[in-house]
Amino acid sequence: EVQLVESGGGLVQPGGSLRLSCAASGFTFSSYWMSWVRQSPGRGLERVASIRHDGISKYYLDSVEGRFTISRDNAKNSLYLQMNTLRAEDTAVYYCAKDSGWYRFDTWGQGTQVTVSS
Amino acid sequence: QSALTQPPSASGSPGQSVTISCAGTSSDVGAYNYVSWYQQHPGKAPKLMIYEVTKRPSGVPDRFSGSKSGNTASLTVSGLQAEDEADYYCSSWVGTNSVIFGGGTKLTVL
């Protein structure tokens, strides 16, 4: 069974940092682009960051560029999102998603809540 | 890039058909045949229902179909069932480094 399981969310103060992790199973992780997609009531769904199967190419939402870093460890079938200098507007449920081409997200994790508040 | 425009709500009775629109521009929906649709039940992750405008992933009922005309894509749900009640989101590929989503449509089965 293809599965993605996120972890690492929580409550953090503005300006703080969090590292999200996503454990993948049931497919050849090293063959696929992977993305982080977030969802909040005010901003809807947003693709936050994407990384190529070999980790060489990375793309970011403009508002997180320079603050967030996406990475992967194909040996561990894991995807990461390092989030620094967090802002209130980063509050959302963060999903890990498998991309089967042209941003076709065919598998999603269960999501992890990130809340940025003092 | 602005979000794609979807009606906030749609509804239909069991057995009926309902169509949800997704309006974009000539730079996104109108430019590429890479429109996807996702279904999301409360508290759950989105689920891919349609990709590349008209294609259905394995396991998605053929009651779900997609189409596109100009800058507007559409999702049609035929033979509505109670379990189809959910939020639906469209998305469009807008280049190697970007994808945009619609604001979502809440489908109610009356």
* Confidence band, pLDDT 50/70/90 cuts, at residue A20: very high
User: Residue B65 half-sphere exposure, CB side, CA atoms within 13 Å?
Assistant: 10
pLDDT at A42 over 80: yes
pLDDT at B25 over 80: yes
Q: Average the pLDDT over B22-45 and give the result.
A: 95
Token pair 């894991």 is at which residue? A78
For residue A67, what are its two tokens? 């603050």
In one-letter notation, the amino acid at residue A49 is: A
pLDDT at B82 over 80: yes
Pairing of strands B99-101, B86-93: antiparallel
pLDDT at A10 over 80: yes
pLDDT at B1 over 80: no
pLDDT at B97: 80
Contact flag B96-A103 (C-beta cutoff 8 Å):
no
Contact flag A102-B91 (C-beta cutoff 8 Å):
no
Chain A contacts of B51, Cβ < 8 Å? 100, 102, 104, 106
d(CA B86, CA A109): 18
A44-78 tens-digit pLDDT: 899 999 999 999 999 999 999 999 999 999 999 99
Q: What percent of chain B has pLDDT over 90?
A: 93
Chain B contacts of A106, Cβ < 8 Å? 48, 51, 57
For residue B91, what are its two tokens? 């998305």
pLDDT at A102: 86
Exposed, middle or buried by CB within 10 Å (0-12, 13-18, 19+), for A61?
middle
What is the CB neighbour count within 10 angstroms for residue A68? 22
CB pairs under 8 A between A and B: 51
- Using CB atoms, which residue from A45, A50, A102 is nearest to B101? A45
pLDDT at B107 over 90: yes
**Which helix H or strand E contains A12, and what residues bound it?**
strand A10-12
A74-94 tens-digit pLDDT: 999 999 999 999 999 999 999
Of the residues A2, A65, A103, the best mutation for testing chain B's interface (the one with the most B CB atoms within 10 Å of its CB) is A103
pLDDT at A53: 96
User: A76 touching B, CB under 8 A?
Assistant: no
Q: Do residues A96 and A38 touch, judged by C-beta distance below 8 A?
A: no
pLDDT at B96 over 80: no
Q: Do residues A13 and A84 touch, judged by C-beta distance below 8 A?
A: no
pLDDT at A25 over 80: yes
B40-78 tens-digit pLDDT: 999 999 999 999 999 999 999 999 999 999 999 999 999
* Chain B residues in contact with chain A using a Cβ-Cβ cutoff of 8 Å: 3, 32, 34, 36, 38, 45-48, 51-52, 57, 89, 91, 93, 96-99, 101-104
d(CA B51, CA B58): 11
